[in-house]
Structure 1
């Protein structure tokens, strides 16, 4: 096979019929997610077609400044999405989340693209933009789960938090159990996926490269490195987000502001 088999527009419409299954289940159990699911599917389709059109020009220009600007825009959108999905105050936490995401992306991209892949041009569009987007997408999911877990458990176990403070614990020590719960809930699924990858599931990046004509051995190497990169970047971003959010969330007496 010389390339990936194209999907016709008619067959794409047939593929969309698969959405009827989750939509029917969500409607039957009255989850209130039917409208959100349909809107999300429509937005995903529109956004991916638009970004596909844009990437054609982005790859052709291959300007380091344009590529960097595009990733910064993605970081801002990801940070905004995290706070919207967790219903946390944007004004207080938007800048800390952006900083956490930006620092994580800088560390991981510099190491992965510069040291592991050894790109001649670090901001080359064909590598820098897709890898950053993949990393950011996983960071977004991990941060939503972590923030929900941290603030949710803190609200449920408020008495434990004040008990620890009253017994001389610092704010960091008093919030340590909630940090632990947030990290466990955020990364348990990722650890489980990594443990069975290749036995149960063939990951998307590897499958895409193989369908695109790459050698399975090359695809496997990229998939292993990307999984480690994604896991590391997500953990760094979650820690930075939680640490920075804690400084904005409590007053000098250790009382949560929101």
Structure 2
């Protein structure tokens, strides 16, 4: 076998070095990194790597907001969100993972460690809540009726152990067709309260976001002690509430 020349050895080392770099780069921690690395342009299930480099499956939405990628962190049907055990009626500070290996729309929640891995990633800037996303998943979100989006920079209680009626500025909220942008809303969360907004109180607190004809203790995007069937997340026993962490990707 012929000995390699110095030039050939340098070329070989460069190739091996590039290969090693490629392997490292192909371990995305967020859906935004999936988009940057693989240039995918369709919604679906992809593999991410958590803070200890273990792979796990998630659903990614690349189509709802141009330039943004969203990672699903929780999806619960009305029945599961309101189950008598109240297993999932807890803030995101609390670790109540469900079906991490098999993401689904009716009973799914990532572990706290994996949520934090997503939230602390450089490209993660925002959170959002949607209703019944699975029926819109192929083309992305088709309507922003019953929708919430906010910045982590403006919401320090997303992973708080407890916060009651804490005013938070959100980018946008729509509840039953009533909406506002860059407005202040009261949020609740604790060991027995999923992060949520009670619109029966929001009209007289913080920025005074008003929704017509609220039911008693009408909760939106979580907790659901009081529900309104006109709110699409809680219209039936099987309708779903979906929470996401996301951020911008390179075009």
TM-score of the aligned structures, taking structure 1 as reference length: 0.22
Task: Write 1 or 2 for the structure with the bigger share of helix.
Answer: 1
TM-score of the aligned structures, taking structure 2 as reference length: 0.22
Task: Write 1 or 2 for the structure with the bigger share of strand.
Answer: 2
